[in-house]
């Protein structure tokens, strides 16, 4: 029962909670409050709308990957049968906020809120995880924002409850991945590269007594005592996804090559419990678990970064949410829900080429370059990162209609304009462009330039130009 003995529940306050009507003297009926037909009202009690408490904390995933969305939920104790339907689902009865250095947006939310993380920008060659953000998602239940609501008897009524979260920098790619070439053991004893796995394949796993299913709870807080039983098991591959990542961690000189967002079973030296942690938080001298349930000393952790990206594979396995990677026990993608990955994508960018001549020359590319964009939004930015060749000036002519030509203005082209161009109205289709190099009569005319295109937090930097004016 959601109500206490002699507890006074007001019909006027109930009406305010249900429809926002602040008049305590306005006519109201229980059938009206329940939403049932006035001509054939269903039996209803005041306790059907009552709760005994707002639960401590919010449910939801601790780690929110950049440019993805997760749901966070306020939970209640002893809620009546109509509470969620008539009270908790009204956005006016709950308020959501956040603190810390989080870059998030919270959609219009009732007792469930969708929280979307922004993009994290890396600088100075930093690896994924360097600029992770931390803070708390907060929610308060107060009917129509009033301190004296229908459920003001409930514990933690009109009181903020929270969930500490971390926004994980993934370079805009799919998190939780193994590098191409990582060898995974199948249950039949064969060994295959992770990229050659198929849906339905059975791969090695371990039994972890008391583990929490990732779809049902806070698995990242699971702990397993080192004296427990860790026996060989199998897991079935349900999804295989291919992506690129700009960094990974090499553990123990190739025993595992894994992105920094991928959870592994880890034990801190001197601690009796195994926990789920990611490679950026590991220390040399601590331990990971192999396929036999043995602990293996971490003797090296080497981060690797490549702006052009590494091919990676993400697995989703069931019924266990973990499996043996190349050497160690690793977790699935690590989310309560399937994240909403950004779909913005550049394709068919030109490769590298050379622009050459004598000092004092002006050279325009003798071909029209193209790049394609899908599912963009807002404007596209085009930038030039130039190394040396300080006496060579590069400009670019752009057109979404056709070849801008050597004059730069054909097919509604922009003409040759300076870098950066941050406000190009281009969200999808094919962009065509030519590059002009103007070399001064003397000085430094040799070096390189990288042309980058960015939209919706996604960047393509595939085009490198060698400059050779002497």
Q: Which residues have C-beta within 8 Å of that of residue 164, sequence separation ≥ 6?
A: 62, 134, 135, 136
Residue boundaries of the structural domains of the chain: 11-168, 178-331, 345-469
Residue pair 169/130 in contact (Cβ under 8 Å)? The answer is yes
What's the pLDDT score for residue 349? 67
Report d(CA 467, CA 462) in Å as an integer.
16
Phi, psi angle pair for 329, to nearest 5°: -75, 125
pLDDT at 357: 94
pLDDT < 50: residue spans in the chain: 1-2, 5-6, 171-174, 334-342
- Specify the pLDDT at position 14: 83
Q: What is the largest CA-CA distance in the chain?
A: 95
- Report the pLDDT value the prediction gives residue 442, as an integer from 0 to 100: 94
pLDDT for the residue 435: 96
pLDDT digits (tens, 9 = 90+) for 81-138: 889 888 999 999 999 999 999 999 998 789 999 998 888 776 665 555 567 788 999 9
State the pTM of this model.
0.45
- Reported residue count of the chain is 470
The class of domain 345-469 in CATH terms is: mainly beta
**For residue 172, what pLDDT is reported?**
42
Given the candidates 2.60.40.10, 1.25.40.10, 3.40.1180.10, 2.40.160.10, the CATH classification of the domain at 11-168 is 2.60.40.10
Percent helix, strand, coil in the chain, to 5, is 10, 45, 50
Task: Count Cβ atoms within 10 A of the Cβ of residue 17 and give its class: 0-12 exposed, 13-18 middle, 19 or more buried.
Answer: buried
The model's pLDDT over 309-348, given as tens digits with 9 standing for 90+, comes to 677 888 888 888 888 888 998 987 644 343 333 467 777 6
pLDDT of res. 173: 44
Rounded Cα distance between 36 and 150, Å, is 20
**What is the predicted pLDDT for the residue at 111?**
93
> Which pLDDT value is given to residue 342?
44
Is-same-fold flag (11-168; 178-331)? no
CATH assignment of 178-331, given 3.90.226.10, 2.170.16.10, 3.40.50.150, 3.40.50.2300?
2.170.16.10
Supply the pLDDT for residue 25.
55
Q: Return the structure tokens found at 146.
A: 């009033």
């Amino acid at each position: 029962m959601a109500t206490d003995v002699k507890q006074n529940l007001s019909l006027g306050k109930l009406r305010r909670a249900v429809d926002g009507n602040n008049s305590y003297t306005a006519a109201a009926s229980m059938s009206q409050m329940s939403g049932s037909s006035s001509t054939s009202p269903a039996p209803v009690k005041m306790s059907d709308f009552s709760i005994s408490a707002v639960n401590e904390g919010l449910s939801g995933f601790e780690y929110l990957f950049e440019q993805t969305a997760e749901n966070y939920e306020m939970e209640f104790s002893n809620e009546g049968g109509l509470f969620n339907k008539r009270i908790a689902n009204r956005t006016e009865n709950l308020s959501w906020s956040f603190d810390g250095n989080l870059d998030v947006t919270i959609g219009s939310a009732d007792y469930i809120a969708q929280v979307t993380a922004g993009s994290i920008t890396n600088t100075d060659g930093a690896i994924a995880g360097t600029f992770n953000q931390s803070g708390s998602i907060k929610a308060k239940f107060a009917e129509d924002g009033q301190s004296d609501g229908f459920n003001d008897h409930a514990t933690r009524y009109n009181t903020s409850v929270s969930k500490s979260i971390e926004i994980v920098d993934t370079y805009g790619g799919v998190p939780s991945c193994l590098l191409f070439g990582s060898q995974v053991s199948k249950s039949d004893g064969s060994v295959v590269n992770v990229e050659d796995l198929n849906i339905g394949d059975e791969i090695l796993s371990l039994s972890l007594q008391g583990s929490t299913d990732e779809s049902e709870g806070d698995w990242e807080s699971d702990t397993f005592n080192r004296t427990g039983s860790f026996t060989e098991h199998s897991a079935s591959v349900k999804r295989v996804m291919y992506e690129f990542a700009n960094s990974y961690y090499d553990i123990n000189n190739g025993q595992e090559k894994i992105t920094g967002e991928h959870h592994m079973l880890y034990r801190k030296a001197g601690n009796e419990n195994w926990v789920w942690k990611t490679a950026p938080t590991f220390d040399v001298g601590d331990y990971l678990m192999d396929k036999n349930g043995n602990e293996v000393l971490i003797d090296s952790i080497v981060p690797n970064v490549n702006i052009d990206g590494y091919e990676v594979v993400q697995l989703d396995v069931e019924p266990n949410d973990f499996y043996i990677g190349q050497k160690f026990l690793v977790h699935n993608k690590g989310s309560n829900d399937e994240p909403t990955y950004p779909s913005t994508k550049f394709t068919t960018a030109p490769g590298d080429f050379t622009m050459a001549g004598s000092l004092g020359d002006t050279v325009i590319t003798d071909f029209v370059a193209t790049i394609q964009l899908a599912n963009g939004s807002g404007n596209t930015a085009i930038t030039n990162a130039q190394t040396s060749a300080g006496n060579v000036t590069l400009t670019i002519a752009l057109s979404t209609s056709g070849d801008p030509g050597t004059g730069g203005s054909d097919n509604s082209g922009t003409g040759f304009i300076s870098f950066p161009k941050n406000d190009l109205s281009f969200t999808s289709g094919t962009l065509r462009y030519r590059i002009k190099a103007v070399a001064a009569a003397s000085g430094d005319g040799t070096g390189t330039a990288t042309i980058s295109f960015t939209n919706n937090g996604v960047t393509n930097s595939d085009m490198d130009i060698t400059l050779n004016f002497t």
